[in-house]
Amino acid sequence: MTRSSKVLPLFLICILLQGAGLPGAGLAQQLPADQPELSATAEHDDTDPSVALTGTVWRTKPGIVFLKTPVGLLTLSSKSTLKDMRASQEVRFWIHGSSMVVDIRKRADGSLLHRYLTGPVARGADDPKSLRQWTPEGEAAFRYGSHEAQLSALPDGDPVTVEVDDTGTITGIHDLQFDLQIGQLPASGSEAHVLLNGTVSKLKSNFIFFRTPVGVVNVNAKIGIKNAKVGQTMKLHIHHHTAAADLTPANGTAPTRRFITGPLEFSTAERTGVKLWTPEGEQSFPTDRGKAALTGAKEGSPITVELNGEGAVVDIHRLN
């Protein structure tokens, strides 16, 4: 992911803190396994930006882990941690506004091995020697522990990444960055969630370089986005196995195009309409402008419904 100081002076800029090492053996027994399941319908769903993904380990290098997620490749990197990742582990990844959470868990039983919290420095209301951070379970305060000197010196609002344990104590301070490539639609049954607003900064082959508040995300146009242009603003919303992309001119007028891509489901027995999820709720769209594309198409196969700024169907495409 390309970095820019103009994008987000929060958690994605490389944090210039060299933290203590990871906690020793036995953390797996200390941390609770009964954390909530990742869900695209959790409270972060309407937060912009927000992401919720589960990834399995594809490849690792010291300090770098490459993860396969329902939407594409997620890469995590750090100079101070991520040195003991294994294929038997999975990562649950959240972005919620200016906060990021990374859970590393055992795939076999879901037990938590490490939790990293990233966000702006905010002191605990009841304990000034604690850090208040967003978590998937809600906002919580974490005691400084042995890192009081480092954390007390940080100005409010500065970005920081900490590792925490189940006692509510900070066990390490780290640098942690990520790179997300959106290259595919999630499979049916996926709990994937992405909500990002930004600007098209570059086009190359089928790839859209999408500058967002969390950095530049590489989006493959083959997920159903057509004729994007540099300078347009784009809103990308992936919900379970459907993607909606709004392209708006740089002057900020109403969207010139909306592309909704998901599994084909006819809304009438006569096949005069198709039903798809949209950010405003499930909707039905007439098929009269897409008869050629839908001829012979089986329900469940991916299609893209293209809408104009008034919400009328311009065309229906089969997803290549």
For residue 235, what pLDDT is reported?
A: 96
For residue 242, what pLDDT is reported?
A: 96
Nearest of 267, 231, 268 to residue 247 by alpha carbon: 231
Residue ranges making up the domain that contains 57: 27-178
Is the residue at 11 inside a domain? no
DSSP letters for 203-271? EETTEEEEEETTEEEEEEGGGT--S--TT-EEEEEEETTEEEEEEE-TT--S-SEEEEEEE--BSSTTS
For residue 199, what pLDDT is reported?
A: 96
For residue 17, what pLDDT is reported?
A: 29
CB 203 within 8 A of CB 298: no
Same domain? For 78 and 132 the reply is yes
Same domain? For 92 and 210 the reply is no
pLDDT by 10-residue block (mean), the chain, 320 residues: 36 32 32 44 70 95 94 96 92 96 95 96 92 95 96 96 96 96 93 96 96 95 95 95 94 86 95 95 95 92 94 91
What type of residue sits at position 273? G
For residue 251, what pLDDT is reported?
A: 79
Same domain? For 214 and 117 the reply is no
- CB count within 10 Å of CB 245 equals 25
Is the residue at 288 inside a domain? yes
For residue 25, what pLDDT is reported?
A: 30
Alpha carbon 124 to its chain centroid, in Å, reads: 27
What type of residue sits at position 316? I
Same domain? For 165 and 32 the reply is yes
Same domain? For 31 and 174 the reply is yes
Same domain? For 164 and 298 the reply is no
**Rounded CA Rg of the chain:** 21
Q: DSSP assignment, residue 147?
A: G
Q: What share of the chain is helix, strand, coil (3-state, %, to 5)?
A: 10, 45, 50
Same domain? For 129 and 229 the reply is no
Q: Which of 160, 178, 196 is the last residue of a domain?
A: 178
Q: Which of 144, 160, 178 is the last residue of a domain?
A: 178
Same domain? For 68 and 91 the reply is yes
For residue 28, what pLDDT is reported?
A: 34
**Count of domains forming the chain:** 2
Same domain? For 125 and 210 the reply is no
Looking up tokens 């329902």 gives: 70
Is the residue at 48 inside a domain? yes
**What is the rounded CA–CA span in Å between residue 16 and residue 184?**
34
**What is the rounded CA–CA span in Å between residue 223 and residue 252?**
24
The angle formed by the CA atoms of residues 258, 48 and 221, to the nearest 5 degrees, is 40
Nearest of 228, 237, 192, 236 to residue 207 by alpha carbon: 228
Same domain? For 243 and 130 the reply is no
Q: 3-state SS of 302-320?
A: EEEEEECCCCCEEEEEECC
